[in-house]
Structure 1
């Protein structure tokens, strides 16, 4: 099962349907690329106040970090496909018009504790 954590400024997450839009984009990508059923959805939102979410000034108030923890055994190709699908769906999401920059951290457990990180700026 994919465990998802979404970190963003509280004001941004509380705007309209931002939480639902982001959650729908993430789960759609997970279902499409990893063949998960709709009911296997575990998303945790971490709304952050400015003093608890320190980042580079050019990221702004819509800066979002998405961390996905997967069980070991997914191929590199499956992981890359998930990243591509996730960014495609997030770009098409209504939340995208409210998001200036986005960061995705995909946690991939393994013997070496490897990570893949990507950044997209709209």
Structure 2
């Protein structure tokens, strides 16, 4: 299980929302071996005055926050991060200084979906990769 929160300034994020979602999803499918039909993206649109950024970032600055069940190796998570930087920068035209990524993990028993706790569900994909 994994969910993605995407934060950015509304006027810059909204026009690229669909393309960005496609790029993020392609990275998740490849790095985390997710099924193609499994996607949970949430976009958080902020007003420019409400989104404080590092001095090195422009108004196009984005934060991607991945929330997932623990179990992936360090190498798998690094692969995801590297794919995201490569594809988002190339396909969306974002500078590396305008993208920050954070992966947050929690045990399967802390998740609830399909009426059960996450450690009770048989998933159609592998988490320990």
Bin of the TM-score, shorter chain as denominator length: 0.7 to 0.9
Alignment of 1:20-39 (within 5 A): 20-39=18-37
Structure 1 runs of 4+ aligned residues shifted over 4 Å read 97-100
* Greater radius of gyration (CA): 2
Q: Which runs of 5+ in 2 are unaligned?
A: 108-129
Residue aligning to 2:60: 62
Once the two structures are superposed, residues 28-66 of structure 1 have per-residue CA deviations (whole angstroms, 9 ceiling, x without a partner) of 000011111111100000010023212234422101000
Change (3 A) 1:79 1:58: closer
- Structure 1: 5+ residue runs without aligned partners? 111-122
- Residues 89, 96 of structure 2: 8 Å contact kept: no
Q: How does 1:107-118 map to 2 (within 5 A)?
A: 107-109=104-106
Give, in angstroms, the shift of residue 102 of structure 1.
Answer: 1.4
Deviation at 1:92, TM superposition (A): 2.2
Q: Does 1:106 find its partner at 2:112?
A: no
Q: TM-score, normalised by structure 2?
A: 0.74
Equivalent of 2:72, from 56, 71, 74?
Answer: 74
2:69 match: secondary structure: coil
